[in-house]
C-alpha cells in the first residue's frame, strides 16, 4: 500500500472511531456561562453574592443525555491569592449552590456546594447550576489582582 | 463613608473573564479488549479559547451511601483484591492543549501485568480541563482597587472497562422494600453482580393499582460493580388509597452501551405490595 493510501486509511479509521464514540448518547457538556461576580465591595465589609442573583451568581450549563444521573462536586477555595502574598477570604455556605432542571434561576433546588451531590438530567438533557458565595475583604485589603480556581467535577454514575 | 473606605472600594465588578468551560469528552464509557489493548477518547473544545487538558486514572465505581444515594466511590490506592486497571492504563498524550473548535484524540494504551488472569478490570478516566491562561492585561495605574479572577477547572470522570477472556454478566436483586413518604413512594433494593463483569443496565419501576393499571413509572441507568442498595422515588400524589404493587425489572437494554460490549443475561424481576394511605 502506498503512503498516501495508508494515510487516507488511517484518517478514515479515526473518523469512524470518533463517530462510534459520539454515538453512545449525547456527550456531556459543561459550560461556564457567567463567573461568580461580587460587584463593588467595600474594604472590611463582607458581601454575599446569592445564587439567585442574575447578575452575580456563577452560572453553569449542563447538557447531556436525558435521565442521566451525574455526581457533581465543587472544590472551592477559601481564599484568593493576591499581590505580595496577600489573600482575600472567600466563604461558601450550605445553600450557596442550586440546581435547576428547568434552567430557570427562579426555580432552583438548593444544594451544598461543599459536598458532592447527585442530579438527574431532565428529558431535554439540559440543566443549570448556580453558585453563590461570600467575599470577606479585610479593612486594609491590599489592591491588585486576586486569583483562585474553582474545580467542578462531574462523574457519570450509570456506568 | 470615609475617604479611606472610598479609596478602598474594591473594583470587583469587573472580574477577570476567566470562566472557562470544559472540553466535551466522548464516549462516557470506554471498553478495551485484551487482544487490542487500546482504546481512545475524543476531546472537543467548543469554546473560543484554547483549553489545557490533563488525563489521569483513578480506581473508582458507583456505590451507595447510607441514604441510598448513588455516589462515585474512589480508591486512590486500591488493595490487591480490587480489579484495578488504574495503574496500567496510560493516556497518550497525557497533557495537551485543544485549540478552540478543534478535537483531539487521546489514545488509551494498556500495559497489563504479565499473566493477568481472565476477567474484567476497571478504572475511571479523569479529564481535567481548564482554559489556557490569557495574556496579562496591561497595568492600569489609575485603578487602586482589586480585581479578582475565578478560574474554573472542569474534571469529567468517565469509565473504562478492560476485558480479558470470557466475562459473564448478570445482576441479582433482593430486599425490595417500599413505603410512602409525603407525596412519594420511597423504595430501595439491594443489587449485586451475578457475573464476573460489572452489570450495566436499566432499573425500571412501575406502580400498578389492583386492576393492573400503571399509575407511576420511572427508570434509571444503573451500574453494579459491588453490592449496593440504591433508593429511588416514585410520585404518588393524587393516587387513591388502597393496595398497589411495585414491580421492578432489571435488564441490560441501554442505548448508551454499544451492543457488542453488553454481557447477555436474562432480565431480573421483583415486586412488592404497597399500601397507599
Q: What is the pLDDT of residue B133?
A: 63
- Most B-contacting residue of A123, A132, A155 (CB-CB within 10 A), to test interface: A155
In 3D space, the residue among B114, B64, B119 whose CA is nearest the CA of residue B88 turns out to be B114
Averaged confidence pLDDT in chain A: 84
Whether residue B238 is preceded by a cis peptide bond, meaning omega within 30 degrees of 0, is no
Select the residue of B19, B157, B200 nearest A155 (Cβ to Cβ): B157
Residue B16 has pLDDT above 70, yes or no: no
Per-residue pLDDT of B123-144, as tens digits, reads 999 999 987 765 544 444 333 5
Instruction: Using CA coordinates, name the residue in chain B closest to A65.
Output: B256
User: Are A27 and B257 within 8 A, CB to CB?
Assistant: no
pLDDT of B22 reads 76
Distance of CA A83 to the CA centre of its chain: 26
pLDDT at residue number A25:
65
Considering only CB atoms, which chain A residues are within 8 Å of B154? 30, 151-154
**Which of B22, B130, B200 lies at the smallest CB-CB distance from A159?**
B200
Greatest CA span in chain B, whole angstroms?
Answer: 78
**Between chains, do B144 and A143 touch, taking CB under 8 Å as contact?**
yes
Classify the complex by whether its ipTM is higher than 0.90, answering yes or no: no
* C-alpha–C-alpha distance, residues A79 and A82, integer Å: 9
Residues of chain A with C-beta less than 8 angstroms from the C-beta of B27: 20-22, 24, 27
Amino acid at each position: 500500500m502506498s503512503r498516501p493510501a495508508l494515510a487516507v486509511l488511517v484518517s478514515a479509521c479515526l473518523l469512524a472511531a470518533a463517530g462510534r464514540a459520539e454515538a453512545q448518547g449525547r456527550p456531556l457538556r459543561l459550560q461556564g456561562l457567567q463567573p461568580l461576580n461580587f460587584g463593588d465591595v467595600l474594604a472590611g465589609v463582607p458581601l454575599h453574592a446569592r445564587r439567585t442573583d442574575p447578575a452575580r451568581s456563577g452560572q453553569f450549563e449542563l447538557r447531556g443525555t436525558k435521565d442521566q444521573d451525574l455526581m457533581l462536586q465543587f472544590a472551592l477555595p477559601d481564599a484568593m491569592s493576591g499581590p505580595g502574598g496577600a489573600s482575600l477570604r472567600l466563604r461558601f455556605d450550605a445553600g450557596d449552590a442550586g440546581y435547576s432542571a428547568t434552567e430557570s434561576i427562579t426555580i432552583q433546588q438548593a444544594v451544598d456546594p461543599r459536598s458532592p451531590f447527585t442530579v438527574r438530567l431532565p428529558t431535554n438533557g439540559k440543566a443549570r447550576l448556580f453558585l453563590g458565595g461570600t467575599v470577606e475583604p479585610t479593612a486594609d485589603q491590599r489592591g491588585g489582582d486576586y486569583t483562585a480556581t474553582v474545580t467542578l467535577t462531574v462523574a457519570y454514575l450509570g456506568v | 463613608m470615609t475617604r479611606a473606605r472610598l479609596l478602598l472600594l474594591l473594583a470587583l465588578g469587573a472580574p477577570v473573564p476567566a470562566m472557562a468551560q470544559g472540553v466535551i469528552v466522548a464516549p462516557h464509557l470506554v471498553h478495551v479488549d485484551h487482544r487490542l489493548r487500546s482504546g481512545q477518547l475524543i476531546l472537543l473544545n467548543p469554546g473560543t479559547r484554547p483549553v489545557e487538558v490533563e488525563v489521569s486514572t483513578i480506581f473508582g465505581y458507583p456505590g451507595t451511601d447510607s441514604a441510598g444515594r448513588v455516589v462515585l466511590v474512589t480508591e486512590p490506592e486500591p488493595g490487591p483484591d480490587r480489579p484495578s486497571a488504574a495503574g496500567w492504563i496510560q493516556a497518550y498524550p497525557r497533557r495537551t492543549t485543544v485549540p478552540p473548535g478543534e478535537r483531539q484524540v487521546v489514545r488509551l494504551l494498556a500495559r497489563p501485568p504479565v499473566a493477568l488472569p481472565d476477567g474484567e478490570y476497571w478504572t475511571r478516566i479523569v479529564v481535567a480541563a481548564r482554559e489556557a491562561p490569557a495574556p496579562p492585561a496591561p497595568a492600569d495605574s489609575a485603578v487602586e482597587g482589586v480585581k479578582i479572577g475565578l478560574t474554573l477547572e472542569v474534571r469529567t470522570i468517565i469509565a473504562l472497562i478492560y476485558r480479558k477472556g470470557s466475562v459473564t454478566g448478570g445482576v441479582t436483586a433482593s430486599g425490595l422494600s417500599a413505603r410512602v413518604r409525603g407525596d412519594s413512594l420511597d423504595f430501595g433494593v439491594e443489587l449485586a453482580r451475578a457475573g464476573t463483569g460489572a452489570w450495566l443496565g436499566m432499573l425500571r419501576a412501575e406502580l400498578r393499582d389492583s386492576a393492573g393499571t400503571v399509575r407511576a413509572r420511572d427508570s434509571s441507568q444503573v451500574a453494579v460493580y459491588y453490592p449496593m442498595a440504591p433508593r429511588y422515588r416514585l410520585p404518588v400524589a393524587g393516587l387513591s388509597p388502597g393496595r398497589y404493587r411495585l414491580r421492578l425489572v432489571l435488564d441490560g437494554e441501554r442505548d448508551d452501551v454499544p451492543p457488542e460490549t453488553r454481557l447477555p443475561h436474562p432480565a431480573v424481576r421483583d415486586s412488592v405490595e404497597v399500601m397507599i394511605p
